[in-house]
Amino acid sequence: MVLLGGAVFFEGSEKKVEIVLAAGGQDLRNLERSFWDDLVAQCKATILSHISNQKMQAFLLSESSLFVWNDRIVMITCGGTVLINSILSFVDIFGVDAIDSIIYQRKNEYDPRRQESSFMDDVAILKNQLTGVALRFGHLDGHHNYLFNLEKKYAPAANDMTCELLMYQIQGPAADVLRANQSAKNIRELIGFDKIAGDFAYDDFAFSPYGYSLNGIRGEDYITMHITPQEDSSYISFETNIDLAKENVAIIEHLIDLFKPNSFDLITFNTNLNIHTDYLKGPLYRENISCGYNVSFKQYFKQSNLQLRAIKL
Amino acid sequence: MVLLGGAVFFEGSEKKVEIVLAAGGQDLRNLERSFWDDLVAQCKATILSHISNQKMQAFLLSESSLFVWNDRIVMITCGGTVLINSILSFVDIFGVDAIDSIIYQRKNEYDPRRQESSFMDDVAILKNQLTGVALRFGHLDGHHNYLFNLEKKYAPAANDMTCELLMYQIQGPAADVLRANQSAKNIRELIGFDKIAGDFAYDDFAFSPYGYSLNGIRGEDYITMHITPQEDSSYISFETNIDLAKENVAIIEHLIDLFKPNSFDLITFNTNLNIHTDYLKGPLYRENISCGYNVSFKQYFKQSNLQLRAIKL
Kindly identify which residue of chain A lies nearest to residue B298, measuring between CA atoms. Answer: A307
Does residue B4 surpass a pLDDT of 70?
Answer: no
Residues on chain B touching A297 (C-beta within 8 angstroms): 310
3-state secondary structure B268-306: EECCCCCCCCCCEEEEEEEEECCCCCEEEEEEEECCCCC
pLDDT of B214-240, one tens digit each? 999 999 999 999 999 998 999 999 999
Helix H or strand E encompassing A120:
helix A119-127
Q: A99-107 and A145-150 as β-strands: parallel, antiparallel, unpaired?
A: antiparallel
Check CB contact under 8 Å for A140 and B284: no
Is position A313 within any domain? no
Would A2 be classed as within a structural domain?
no
Contact partners, residue B92, CB within 8 Å, separation at least 6 = none
pLDDT tens digits, residue range A257-295?
999 999 999 999 999 888 889 999 999 999 999 999 999
Counting beta carbons within 10 angstroms of the beta carbon of residue A173, is it exposed (0 to 12), middle (13 to 18) or buried (19 or more)? exposed
User: Are the C-beta atoms of residues B254 and B225 closer than 8 Å to each other?
Assistant: no
CA atoms within 13 A on the CB side of A162: 19
Query: Is the preceding peptide bond at A229 cis, omega within 30 degrees of 0?
Result: no
- pLDDT tier at B197, thresholds 50, 70, 90: confident
pLDDT at residue B194 in the model: 78
Residue B180 belongs to some domain of the structure: yes
B172 located within any domain: yes
Does A147 contact B309 at a Cβ distance shorter than 8 Å? no
Judging contacts by C-beta atoms under 8 Å, the chain A residues touching residue B285 are 308-310
ipTM > 0.95 (yes/no)? no
> Does some domain include residue A218?
yes
**What number is the average pLDDT over the span A65-78?**
98
B180 part of contact set with chain A, CB < 8 Å: no
Looking up residue B116, the CATH number of its domain turns out to be 3.60.90.10
pLDDT digits 0-9 by tens, A207-246: 999 999 999 999 999 999 999 999 899 999 999 999 988 7
Phi-psi region of A109 (alpha: psi -120 to 50; beta: other; left: phi over 0): beta
Judge contact between A80 and A125, C-beta under 8 A. Answer: no
What is the residue type of B104? Y
- Could you tell me the pLDDT band of residue A3, with boundaries at 50, 70 and 90? very low
Query: Is B2 within the bounds of a domain?
Result: no
Q: Which domain holds residue B145?
A: 10-301
What's the pLDDT tens digit per position in A110-127?
999 999 999 999 999 999
Q: For residue B206, tell me if it sits in a domain.
A: yes
What domain count does chain B have? 1
Residue A98 has a pLDDT of: 96
Q: What is the pLDDT of residues B78-128, one digit of tens each?
A: 999 999 999 999 999 999 999 999 999 999 999 999 999 999 999 999 999
Measured in residues, chain B has a length of 313
> If we measure between CA atoms, which residue out of B13, B2, B1, B4 comes closest to residue B308?
B4
Query: CB-CB: which of A110, A134, A313 is closest to B136?
Result: A313
Amino acid, res. A269: F
Which of chain A's residues have a Cβ under 8 Å away from the Cβ of B140?
Answer: 110-111, 232-233
Q: What are phi and psi of B152, to 5 degrees?
A: -155, 140
> Which residue among A286, A304, A309 sits closest to B281, beta carbon to beta carbon?
A304
Least Cα distance to B168 among B285, B239, B259, B80 occurs for B259
Judge whether B306 lies within some domain: no
Best mutation target, B120, B136, B302, B308, to test chain A (most A CBs within 10 A) = B308
The shortest C-alpha distance from A105 to chain B (Å) reads 13
Chain A residues whose beta carbon lies within 8 Å of the beta carbon of residue B118: 113
Backbone angles phi, psi at A262, to 5 degrees: -70, -30
| Average pLDDT, rounded, for chain B | 94
| Contacts with B290 from chain A: Cβ below 8 Å | none
Q: Would an 8 Å CB–CB cutoff place B147 in contact with chain A? A: yes
* Mean pLDDT along residues A137-152: 97
Write out chain B residues lying below 8 Å of A291, CB-based.
none
Q: Is the model's pLDDT at B25 over the cut of 90?
A: no
A285, B308: Cβ pair inside 8 Å?
yes
pLDDT surpasses 50 at B155: yes
